[in-house]
Each structure stands twice: as C-alpha cells, then as structure tokens.
Amino acid sequence: MTPDARILIIDDEAPIRRLLRVALEAEGYGVLEAATARAGLAAAARETPALVVLDLGLPDADGLSVLRDLRGWSHVPVLILSVRADEAGKVAALDAGAQDYVVKPFGVKEFLARVRGLLRDRGSEAIPSVLTTGSLRIDAADHSATLDGLSLHLTRREFDLLWMLVSHRGRLVTQEMILRAIWGPAHADDSQYLRVYIRQLRQKLGDDATNPRFIATEPGIGYRFLEAPDA
C-alpha cells in the first residue's frame, strides 16, 4: 500500500461514497469526496490525489467529459466505477485515459485489489500536500498560503487557482484547462472571468503583470507560474 495515499471519489451517490470511504480508510488511505463533476475537478486540481475513482453518471456532466478534462492537465490514475457494463462504454473510457473500469454492483475486495494495483503501478511517487517555490508556501491541508512568511488572505477560488498554477510551475496552463478544472465545463469559455481572478491574485502576491515575478501571461492562451530563482 502507498503510505498516506489520498483517493478522490467523484460519485453523486452518497451511499456509494460512504461504502468506499469506510473500505478505503480501513486500509489506511485518505479519502476525498465530490458529488459533482465541477466539485471533483476542483478537488483534483487543489488536492492532487494519488488516485481518482470516477462515476460516469454525474448530475452536471458526463463522467467521460470529466475524464477528458482531467487528462488535459493531469496524469493521475483514474478508476471508473459505473453501472454501464457494455463493452463499447468500457473501451470509450479506457481510450479517454482511464486506467481501469469496475462495474456496479461490485465486490469491495475486488475494488480494493484494483486500487492497490493502480497505486503500485504508479510507484512510490510522493503526492505533496505542501508546495513551495522561493518564498511562497502553499498548504493544501488547511488551504493556506504564505509569502515571505506573511499570510495571504485568499478566497477559496483564488487558492484553487494559485494551487493549480504552482503545481504546474514552469509549464503553460491554458485558460480552458483552468476554467474547466476550477469552475467546471460550463465556464470553459469565460476567459474574462478568469482574468479578473488572475488580476486579484496578482494584487495579493504583489506581482506586476508587465514585469512578473510569479504569474506570466501567454496572451490569448493561458498562464505560466514562474520558477523561483532559488527554488
């Protein structure tokens, strides 16, 4: 078992989430829960889980669209949990980037074996709950951030945005990737909305858009969190 591995369950059925939580916590895993596609994508971006368990029948989006969105910016292993048992559905999920597929109803022992296999295949890569770059420190556990030792007072959305950018620091993150992950698929084209949040985040970081220390803009494409010289 991967020590302290956190597993994100994205499923709108509370009894299923409860069953999986009990089974996973009994094995020593940490468990995160989301009942919608929007909440699940935000949690995946913010919490960097070791594994995602994804239901295909979500109330606000099809699970396959969630999987495709997730694959746009993350390589986290995904285990599909669905009542859809047809071969075509399984193939579509695997082709979209899922690593495994379990049909409901399922046996808990089999489910746990699939989880162990996916985490074992991933190896011993550590999943950080704290990110640091230069004098900036972000803690996912208590949703806090400090710069030069001083607390940054961020809204939940600002924190999610900062976490996503820093977790991909040095790499370009497109506007669409950010919007889908944090605000949900329905907001994938709301680039003006995102610009407002980027401006607010820059103000709190004391960053200058024309000579950025932290967040660089790729016009019309997205944003890149700059590697700190001493990171």
CATH number of the domain within which 39 lies: 3.40.50.2300
Of 95, 54, 107, nearest to 76 by C-alpha is 54
Tokens of 41: 């994508």
At residue 101 the predicted structure's pLDDT band, cuts being 50, 70 and 90, is very high
Same domain assignment for residues 74 and 18: yes
What pLDDT does 221 receive? 86
Residue 21 lies in a domain: yes
Q: What is the CATH number of the domain that holds 145?
A: 1.10.10.10
| 14 and 96 co-located in one domain | yes
Task: Give per-residue pLDDT as tens, 68-97.
Answer: 888 877 889 999 999 888 888 888 888 888
Sequence-separated (6 or more) residues with CB below 8 Å from residue 4: 28, 30
Residues 116 and 10 in one domain: yes
214 lies in some domain: yes
Check whether residue 137 and residue 117 sit in a common domain.
no
| Helices vs strands, H then E, count in the chain | 8, 12
pLDDT band at 128 (very low <50, low <70, confident <90, very high): low
| Alpha-carbon distances of 36 from 26, 122, 184, rounded to whole Å | 25, 26, 10
In three-state secondary structure terms, 104 is coil
Measured over the CA atoms of residue 84, residue 87, residue 88 and residue 92, the dihedral's sign is: positive
Mark whether 76 and 160 lie in a shared domain: no
The candidate with the shortest Cα–Cα distance to 49, out of 139, 130, 127, 137, is 127
Expressed as residue numbers, the domain containing 38 is: 6-122
Are residues 134 and 98 located together in one domain of the fold?
no
Q: 136 and 99, same structural domain? A: no
Q: How confident is the model at residue 127 (pLDDT cuts 50, 70, 90)?
A: low
What pLDDT sits at residue 175?
Answer: 87
pTM above 0.75, yes or no: no
Mean pLDDT over the full length of the chain: 87
The answer as to whether 230 is a domain residue is: no
Q: Cβ(61)–Cβ(185) under 8 Å?
A: yes
Assess whether 85 and 136 both reside in one domain.
no
> Where is the domain boundary, 66, 93, 122?
122
Co-location of 175 and 83 in the same domain: no
Mean pLDDT confidence for 112-132: 75
pLDDT in the model for residue 122:
65
Of 97, 122, 147, the residue that ends a domain is 122
| Rounded mean pLDDT, 136-145 | 86
Overall number of domains in the chain: 2
75 and 141 share one domain: no
20 and 57, same structural domain?
A: yes
Instruction: Look at residues 64, 69, 45 and name the one whose alpha carbon lies nearest to residue 54.
Output: 64
What's the CA gap between 198 and 179, in Å, rounded? 12
Residue 213 Cα distances to 10, 135, 155, 164, angstroms: 36, 11, 21, 17
174-210 pLDDT tens trace: 888 888 888 877 777 888 889 999 999 999 999 999 9
Read off the pLDDT of residues 1-17 as tens digits, 9 standing for 90 and up.
444 689 999 999 999 99
